[in-house]
Structure 1
Amino acid sequence: MSKRFVSMRMLALLGGLVLASACSAASNSATAPYTNGDEYVTLPGPHQRYSNDGKVEVVEVFSYACIHCAEFAPDAEKLRKALPPGVKFKLLPAPFNQAWLPYARAFYAAKQLGVVQQTHLKLFVEKFAQHYPLNSLDDLADFYARQGVNRAKFMQIATSPEATTALKADLALIQKWGVDATPTIVVDGKYRSNNITSYSQLVALTQWLVKRELAEKGGK
């Protein structure tokens, strides 16, 4: 697996939504298992988190259009369940290009409707294992309808001005973090995964960064 997994060119989208490029992704002691600037990077301050809930946050920047995110999804779910108390796992969809925009809109609708947990892995399975045609927002609305979601309500939320505003804000944050590949993990808006060679390494790196961040916060 390459560091970046896949890369794409920046495009301008509907309503002036400017999109970036991509699908691709302790201590200071000499015995640290990972190196700043290699497997991860420390982001320049001021650090900006995805939320303000007070917990250490682990954010996976992903897309339902990304095969590598589909492959990583079971490991990401295990990681989410294994995180210690005081740590919150969050998903952030990357609208990197016009083809990926429907998936980001679909995620926002699913999140608002409260169905992400029961549909997240299923969507990957249908798209990449069962090869359902899940490419357009209409296709995605059909998928969620099969999961018991009201199709009209889904489309209303996914195409709303509020969804567009959220896309713009989250894209700006993704760009601030320097994310140009998926899946990428960002811990507390401070550390970003970088040169990763396997999904197991991404999980282990995330766990190490979380312990480091918890230790730093505990020492304050």
Structure 2
Amino acid sequence: MRKLILSATLVAASVFGMAGVQAAEPAKAGEQYIELSNPVPVSQPGKIEVVELFWYGCPHCYHFEPTLNPWVSKLPKDVNFKRVPAMFGGPWDAHGQMFLTLEAMGVEQKVHDAVFDAIQNQRKRLTDPQDMADFLATQGVDKDKFLSTFNSFAIKGQVQQAKALAKKYEITGVPSMVVNGKYRFDLGTAGGPDGVLSVADQLIAKERAK
């Protein structure tokens, strides 16, 4: 699994500078995206769901943020965007559990950029819960509440749910996107950050037309 993740990451790195190369091309199944053989139920029935699977320790996820976030902010009301942490063990699991904890506390959006910056630019590992709590306290997050939530039964259940989702989506690397539980694509297949959003737009329109 780790070799597959590394391979997908290297592919992403090789095309990251090709943003927009395929953006004008119609997205094709088996080329720009993969149609899942077993569709995954969406979290909000009645809305078109767009999922980004990511990891705070992934530099490509970090560099995708400036392209992704403005697009997310302009999504129409019939589209539900959500992030799902990919967890393949070790720091992936620790960071994923941190994300889910912050989301449960309702503060993830406020500290998302700071966590990414701490891990990617300040070289903080943030794999130990106490270290996470100490850092998050500098961002205004209650330390004791964070730790109690992090270790709660509810969060452990969400961790298992996120891992199960990643398996159902059949991802091998991050960042990966999934539209409406049916179509999966990434930087490599879509041709870079702008290509990813172009494919997402086309698949959203495809689902909306049904």
Alignment TM-score, normalising by the size of structure 2:
0.84
Does the alignment pair 1:182 with 2:174? yes
Deviation at 1:65, TM superposition (A): 1.4
- Would the alpha carbon gap of residues 199 and 53 (structure 1) be closer, same or farther in structure 2, given more than 3 Å must change? same
Of residues 26, 33, 39 in structure 2, which corresponds to 1:33? 26
5+ residue gaps, structure 2: 13-23
| % identical aligned pairs | 31
Measure, in 2, the Cα distance between the counterparts of 1:32 and 1:71. Answer: 23
Q: Is the 8 A contact 2:52 2:83 kept in 1?
A: yes
Where do residues 41-80 of structure 1 align in structure 2 (5 Å cutoff)?
A: 41-45=34-38, 47-80=39-72
Residue deviations 1:151-183 (CA, integer Å, cap 9, x gap): 111111112222222111221121111111110
Structure 1 residue ranges without an equivalent (≥5): 1-6, 10-20, 26-30
AA at the equivalent of 1:175: K
| Structure number having the greater helix percentage | 2
Structure 1 residue 204: deviation in Å?
1.4
- Alignment of structure 1 residues 164-179 onto 2, 5 Å: 164-179=156-171
Amino acid in structure 1 at the alignment position of 2:193: Y
Q: Letter of the aligned partner of 1:34 in structure 2?
A: A
Divergent runs of 4+, >6 A = none
The question of whether the paired residues in 2 share the 8 Å contact of 1:49 and 1:189 is answered with yes
1:164 is paired with a residue of what secondary structure? helix
Q: What is the match of residue 15 of structure 1?
A: none
CA contact (8 A) 2:49 2:179 kept: yes
TM-score normalised by the chain length of structure 1: 0.80
Letter in 2 for 1:63: W
> Partners of 2:125 and 2:35 in 1: how far apart?
39
Number of equivalenced pairs: 193
CA shift in 2, pair 1:148/1:86, >3 Å: same
2:16 is the alignment partner of 1:22: no
Pairing of 1:77-88 with structure 2 (within 5 A): 77-88=69-80
